[in-house]
A and B are shown apart, each in its own frame.
Chain A
Amino acid sequence: MTKTLAANRIPLENYSEVVGAGEIEELRALAKPLRGRSVEMINSTAVGGGVAEILNHLVPLAEELELGIRWDVMKGDEEFFDVTKSFHNALHGEPYLAKPKDFEIFLRYNEQNRATLPLDAEFVVVHDLQPAALVDARKPGPNHWVWRCHIDLSRPNRAVWEFLEQFVSRYDGAMFSSPEFSRQLPIPQYLFYPAIDPLSEKNCPLDSEFIAQVLLRYQIDPQRPILTQISRFDRLKDPVGVIRAYRIAKRYFDCQLVLAGGSASDDPEGVLVLKEVRRAADQDPDIKILELPAWAPLEVNALQRASTIVVQKSLREGFGLTVSEALWKKKPVVASAVGGIPTQIIHKHTGLLAHSVEGIAYQIRFLLSHPEIAAKLGANGHEHVKENFLITQKLKRYLALFLLLDRA
């Protein structure tokens, strides 16, 4: 086990306080026939990004259940990742002119990795597009290969998807975060939600003193309503739209807005967006724009817990796990109905959905006027996350999938 994984090891038993002893017993029962069976998870980065974060928590739990699991990261350099970033954006529907050289680069790096990665497990799980062509190394015999797609393929660039599809079709199954993201494929497709770890620093319970300290540090008034959006400074997260919605709500309620995201210093576009956001804020003292240092999970946790309402006004979204993070903390969430958000927000049951700045503002005003409804939505949201979007549920889905593949 790597040092990172060892550091993330949380005993499975600890989760019984959160999900109940019956759920843990169930995980052990499902894992029993899989003890000692080999599983290889493959993705393209060990740190940063949602996939790495999930694997960091998932792999140690699977090890505790005695699966022979390993996590391998494919290697590539700038040339490869430039191409895969273009492919990634193109699959999300952004304009892209297909260049034969890009496809050559993609295939060359996959071939190099085929030569160095073991790829001999009984269950091989390949995450996202970067390592998708590793399936060429599949050997005949009793092995099962599945492709886990974390991105939205509902409107992909045709050339890139047709290129990728030839590999995807050779897996035994594909998993998507939402039915909306899936494609017509000749292989079975399953719904696999991303997950949060309820015991991680970003989601664990915090004492009120620490939360108060964080508010004090950022000069946020705990006595007045706090609206918060946690996201990187990216146009697709529409932080300027959030400010416009806040201004509408502000006419009726003396509220504050917190826009908190990772530092934009290493992201040229992020720097531009941050400037736009500051300009839109126009030095309003009740708008706090926080550039949090990388990996500030406790601060994010505290800000979410201190919020009156959490907003996620994305224009496009993968799954949007920040929504689950807020729901887990029993916060009422007002969010755009895009990407995986409607899976988390069942409108009027676990939160409120909207489709415009005015809609977001209206729902904020509605919840500020009806705190009892806000509390009910937050409570329902917590249960929804508990049942569907926790790391233990994710582990259970993997166990079920491996059993299903094994029995097929």
Chain B
Amino acid sequence: MNAAEAPFEFVTASYLTRIGNQSAGNIAELLTGLEHCSDASIFHHTFQTLGVHHFLTEGFSNDFAQWTLSSTNRNDLAEHLAALDIRDYTSIAALRSDLCRVVRDFCAAQPQLATQSGLERFHFCESVEVTMPLGRSARNLDEFREALEHLSHAGFYYHFISSRLRLQLQTNDFSVWLSGSLGLRTLADSINHIDVYTNTLDSARAKLLRLIDRTRRKA
């Protein structure tokens, strides 16, 4: 079995949500907020939701879509926002640009609806990540699998989802290490293609373990 020179170091992460001073009471204000909020805020309201609401796999995509649906009752706009496939993006700037485009189009087409007050305000927030080494590492696929199986949701979220912000939305910590350190490119690619939107964290982890097992059987 291949052994990596640089081991995979598992960390745990805890996330604090920092409440920003920006909020939106209607769709037009949502657009202003989207245009001016921090990158971390865009990431928080699109990807972070996968960690916080990781058990939901139906009809829930990002905080902007959910607020549009539940607070302004604009199903059409909510669907358009939810339909943006966040895995397609390779930068927060591009994601922000498309979110703004969708909301801007709505505001142009329905200016009266865009300024109607929602039931609750949308508050722009961002996540503050605090990481800590777990003191657990892996040098080969067996050790990696063993550690992965027992990783907490937060640790799994950190390596598999939150890492995408650091890695320019292209890949994740697991795939980087499996490809770069163990040379398992096919496995790394398959893992990177696990749909984080239609899986819960638990089911994504289960798929990941199955992919690893398949690779081990072939080896």
Interface check B150, CB cutoff 8 A: yes
A26 touches B155 (CB 8 A): yes
Per the bound structure, the CA–CA distance linking A403 and B130 in Å amounts to 7
Per the bound structure, the CA–CA distance linking A189 and B21 in Å amounts to 9
Among A67-75, A195-203, A289-297, A347-355, which stretch is in contact with chain B? A347-355
- Across-interface contacts of A403 in B (CB, < 8 A): 14, 130, 132
- Across-interface contacts of A206 in B (CB, < 8 A): none
A179 touches B19 (CB 8 A): yes
- Across-interface contacts of A23 in B (CB, < 8 A): 152-154
Per the bound structure, the CA–CA distance linking A384 and B120 in Å amounts to 20
A387 touches B123 (CB 8 A): no
- Across-interface contacts of B69 in A (CB, < 8 A): 347
| Contact size range, B | 35 or more
Among A87-95, A100-108, A393-401, which stretch is in contact with chain B? A393-401
Residue of B nearest to A184 (CB): B21
Most buried by B among A29, A348, A387, A399: A29
24 contacts between A and B (CB under 8 A): A22-B150, A25-B12, A25-B150, A26-B12, A29-B12, A29-B134, A32-B132, A176-B19, A179-B123, A180-B121, A189-B19, A337-B120, A347-B69, A348-B59, A348-B70, A349-B56, A355-B119, A388-B52, A400-B14, A400-B16, A401-B16, A403-B14, A403-B130, A404-B128
Interface check B106, CB cutoff 8 A: no
Residue of A nearest to B49 (CB): A346
Residue of B nearest to A383 (CB): B55
Interface check A33, CB cutoff 8 A: yes
Interface check A20, CB cutoff 8 A: yes
B194 to chain A, nearest CB (A): 19
B1-45 near A? 1/0 per residue, CB < 8 Å = 000000000001011111101010000000000000000000000
Per the bound structure, the CA–CA distance linking A32 and B12 in Å amounts to 12
B133 touches A342 (CB 8 A): no
- Across-interface contacts of A396 in B (CB, < 8 A): 14, 154
Closest 3 CB pairs of A and B: A179-B123, A22-B152, A400-B14
A25 touches B134 (CB 8 A): yes
Per the bound structure, the CA–CA distance linking A380 and B56 in Å amounts to 7
Interface check A301, CB cutoff 8 A: no
- Across-interface contacts of B23 in A (CB, < 8 A): 179
Chain B 105-160 residues near chain A, CB threshold 8 A: 119-121, 123, 125, 128, 130, 132-135, 150-155
- Across-interface contacts of A26 in B (CB, < 8 A): 12, 14, 134, 152, 154-155
Interface check B54, CB cutoff 8 A: yes
From known contacts A179-B125, A342-B120, A404-B128, infer whether A30 and B19 are also in contact, taking CB-CB under 8 Å: no
Q: CB < 8 Å: which of A29, A380, A400 contacts B15?
A: A400
B152 touches A20 (CB 8 A): yes
Interface check A7, CB cutoff 8 A: no
B106 to chain A, nearest CB (A): 21
Interface check A371, CB cutoff 8 A: no
Tally of chain A residues near chain B (CB < 8 A)? 39
- Across-interface contacts of A404 in B (CB, < 8 A): 16, 128, 130
Q: CB < 8 Å: which of A346, A353, A400 contacts B66?
A: A346
Interface check A205, CB cutoff 8 A: no
Interface check B53, CB cutoff 8 A: yes
Interface check B60, CB cutoff 8 A: yes
B153 touches A188 (CB 8 A): no
B18 touches A190 (CB 8 A): yes
Per the bound structure, the CA–CA distance linking A191 and B20 in Å amounts to 10
A35 to chain B, nearest CB (A): 13
Q: CB < 8 Å: which of B54, B66, B123 contacts A180?
A: B123
Residue of B nearest to A406 (CB): B130
Chain A 99-130 residues near chain B, CB threshold 8 A: none
From known contacts A191-B17, A337-B120, A396-B14, infer whether A349 and B134 are also in contact, taking CB-CB under 8 Å: no
Per the bound structure, the CA–CA distance linking A20 and B152 in Å amounts to 8
B60 touches A346 (CB 8 A): yes
- Across-interface contacts of B14 in A (CB, < 8 A): 26, 30, 396-397, 399-400, 403
